[in-house]
């Protein structure tokens, strides 16, 4: 049934349909219809970062940027939901069109640019959720904040979301905020992570609750950068790594050649190899000292298993969910349960 619905939806502009689909999902959930249509939730409890997840398959950041649809999305079978990226102030993001489907490639290119309603709005939506699934909140910087002041934006967001999150993701890898990926490198990274770690310890004291920090990295990194980032993440005592965000690269095998020329981050099936290779290298460099959450190109249960084999403890899906719907989430969760 999802394939039929998808064919219909894909006749329209990608972003318009994205918003429309989330509204329909939310409506059908609110009237109790959604749970009758969806595959059953797979219970396969797993503890990572000291948090118990109902299964190992999460929703990656960016689909529910303002945390408006947590309950409806959680009912799609995810073991955890990551909302955001949220910035201190609301911002419109880049001009439309900024979301493109590469249907024959099972892929998406986006250059959304952190369009979101700001951290206060996100927190007010999170407060209204009824589902108690594990919630990650992904934080970033406003476009207008100079890079040298980026840490202030992360600190503001952290302060606001801390009590509402089960874990917090520090996003320094989106390709659509100018300069953001520079935060992944050198002393600047150490400085950023140290300040955020100190804030975490301060908030832990204040609220008597330890909320783990995860750093989300790009797939477009060379080996020396991977080793360097891993060392800095460990030294700063960050709790987990998310590998990876979308890629700026364009693999030769892409079939939708003209859409592939659009600027933005590529996600979905063509990213799987690049992302999994980076995941493996991080797994070696981190040497099991902290867990890795894998995202990037999961389009089947086998892909999810390969991510775990490559060194991940949990997986996240975004583009595969758009193309295959909730059944993919159930299949991945089942395959990981059986391992
Ligand atoms: C339209 C779109 C928007 C995204 N927005 C964000 C975001 O705001 N923050 C973030 O950390 N990742 C964002 N991502 C990246 C995803 O969370 C994920 O890391 C990436 O797409 C790879 O996973 P996938 O191949 O399963 O989509 C976005 C991805 C897409 C397709």
Active-site residue, 267 included:
no
- Of 334, 338, 303, the closest CA to residue 317 belongs to 303
Pick the catalytic residue: 174, 275, 299, 313?
A: 174
Return the SS3 of 41: coil
* 8-state DSSP, 217: E
Q: Alpha-carbon distance 275 to 133, whole Å?
A: 26
Residue 3 predicted with pLDDT over 80: no
Q: Ligand 1: distance of its center to the CA of 339 in Å?
A: 27
User: pLDDT tens, 108-163?
Assistant: 999 999 999 999 999 999 999 999 999 999 999 999 999 999 999 999 999 999 99
Q: For residue range 259-282, what is the model confidence (pLDDT) as tens digits?
A: 999 999 999 999 999 999 999 999
pLDDT tier, 8 (very low <50, low <70, confident <90, very high otherwise): confident
Other residues' Cβ atoms within 10 Å of the Cβ of residue 312: 27
Q: Which of 100-104, 163-167, 238-242, 335-339 has the lowest mean pLDDT?
A: 335-339
DSSP code per residue over 270-296: GGHHHHHHHHHHHHHHHTTSS-EEEES
The pLDDT, as a whole number, for residue 11 is 81
Identify the pLDDT of residue 144.
96
Is there an atom of ligand 1 within 6 Å of 295 CB?
yes
At 306 the pLDDT is 98
Query: With pLDDT > 90 as the criterion, what percentage of the chain qualifies?
Result: 89
Distance from the alpha carbon of residue 245 to the mean position of ligand 1, in angstroms: 6
Bigger pLDDT: 297 or 17?
Answer: 297
Pocket test for ligand 1, best of 294, 318, 328, 329 (most atoms within 8 A of CB): 318
CA of 207 to the centre of ligand 1 (A): 30
Cβ of 319 less than 6 Å from ligand 1: yes
| Residue 38, pLDDT above cutoff 90 | no
Kindly give the number of the ligand 1 atom that is closest to the alpha carbon of 216: 11
**Stretch 99-103: mean pLDDT, rounded?**
95
Using the predicted structure, report yes or no on whether residue 39 has a pLDDT greater than 90.
no
Please give the number of the atom of ligand 1 that sits closest to the Cα of 242.
19
Residue 285: per-residue pLDDT: 98
Domains recognised in the chain with CATH numbers:
2-337 (3.20.20.70)
Say yes or no: CB of residue 99 within 6 Å of ligand 1: yes
Residue range 287-294: average pLDDT?
A: 97
Q: Where is pLDDT greater, at 209 or 338?
A: 209
Ligand 1 neighbourhood includes 320 CB (under 6 angstroms): yes
- 56-70: average pLDDT: 97
Q: At 12, is the pLDDT very low, low, confident or very high (cuts 50, 70, 90)?
A: confident
Asked whether the predicted pLDDT for residue 91 surpasses 80, the reply is yes
Q: If you measure from the C-alpha of residue 205 to the centroid of ligand 1, how many angstroms do you get, rounded to a whole number?
A: 32
62 lines ligand 1 (CB under 6 A): yes
Q: Does residue 143's CB lie within 6 angstroms of at least one atom of ligand 1?
A: no
Phi then psi for residue 25, to 5 deg, are -55, -45
- So what's the pLDDT on residue 5? 79
- Rounded to the nearest angstrom, the distance between the alpha carbon of 26 and the centre of ligand 1 is 21
Residues 6+ apart with CB under 8 A from 149: none
Cβ–ligand 1 contact at 61 (below 6 Å): yes
> In this model, does residue 4 exceed pLDDT 80?
no
In the structure, what pLDDT confidence band is assigned to residue 34 with cuts at 50, 70 and 90?
Answer: confident
Does the Cβ of 246 fall within 6 Å of ligand 1? Answer: yes
Whether residue 6 is predicted with pLDDT greater than 90 in this model: the reply is no
**Tens digit of each residue's pLDDT (9 = 90 or more) over 306-326:** 999 999 999 999 999 999 999
Look over the chain and give the mean of its residue pLDDT values, rounded to a whole number: 95
Residue 322 to residue 22: CA distance in whole angstroms: 11
The Cα 266–Cα 272 span in angstroms is 11
Question: Ligand 1 mean position to 267 CA, how many Å?
Answer: 7
């Amino acid at each position: 049934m999802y394939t039929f619905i998808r064919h219909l939806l894909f006749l329209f502009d990608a972003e318009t349909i994205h918003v429309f689909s989330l509204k329909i999902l939310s409506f059908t959930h609110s009237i109790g219809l959604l749970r009758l249509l969806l595959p059953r939730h797979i219970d396969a409890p797993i503890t990572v970062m000291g948090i118990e997840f109902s299964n190992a398959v999460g929703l990656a950041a960016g689909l529910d940027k303002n945390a408006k649809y947590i309950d409806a999305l959680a009912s799609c079978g995810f073991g955890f939901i990551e909302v955001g990226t949220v910035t201190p102030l609301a911002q419109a993001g880049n001009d439309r069109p900024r979301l493109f489907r590469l249907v024959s490639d099972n892929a998406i290119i986006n250059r959304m640019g952190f369009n979101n309603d700001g951290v206060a709005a996100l927190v007010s939506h999170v407060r209204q959720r009824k589902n108690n699934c594990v919630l990650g909140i992904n934080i970033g910087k406003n476009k207008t904040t100079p890079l040298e002041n980026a840490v202030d934006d992360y600190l503001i967001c952290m302060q606001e979301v801390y009590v509402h999150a089960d874990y917090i993701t520090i996003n320094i890898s989106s390709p659509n905020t100018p300069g953001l990926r520079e935060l992944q490198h050198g002393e600047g990274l150490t400085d950023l992570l140290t300040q955020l770690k100190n804030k975490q310890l301060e908030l832990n004291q204040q609220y008597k609750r330890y909320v783990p920090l995860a750093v989300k990295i790009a797939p477009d990194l060379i080996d020396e950068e991977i080793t360097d980032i891993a060392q800095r993440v460990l030294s700063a005592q960050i709790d987990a790594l998310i590998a990876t965000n979308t890629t700026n690269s364009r693999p030769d095998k892409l079939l939708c050649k003209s859409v592939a020329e659009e600027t933005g981050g590529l996600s979905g099936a063509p990213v799987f190899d690049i992302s999994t290779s980076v995941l493996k290298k991080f797994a070696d460099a981190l040497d099991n000292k902290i867990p890795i959450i894998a995202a990037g190109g999961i389009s089947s249960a086998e892909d999810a298993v390969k991510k775990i084999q490559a060194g991940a403890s949990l997986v996240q899906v975004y583009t595969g969910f758009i193309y295959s719907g909730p059944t993919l989430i159930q299949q991945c969760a089942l395959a990981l349960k059986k391992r």
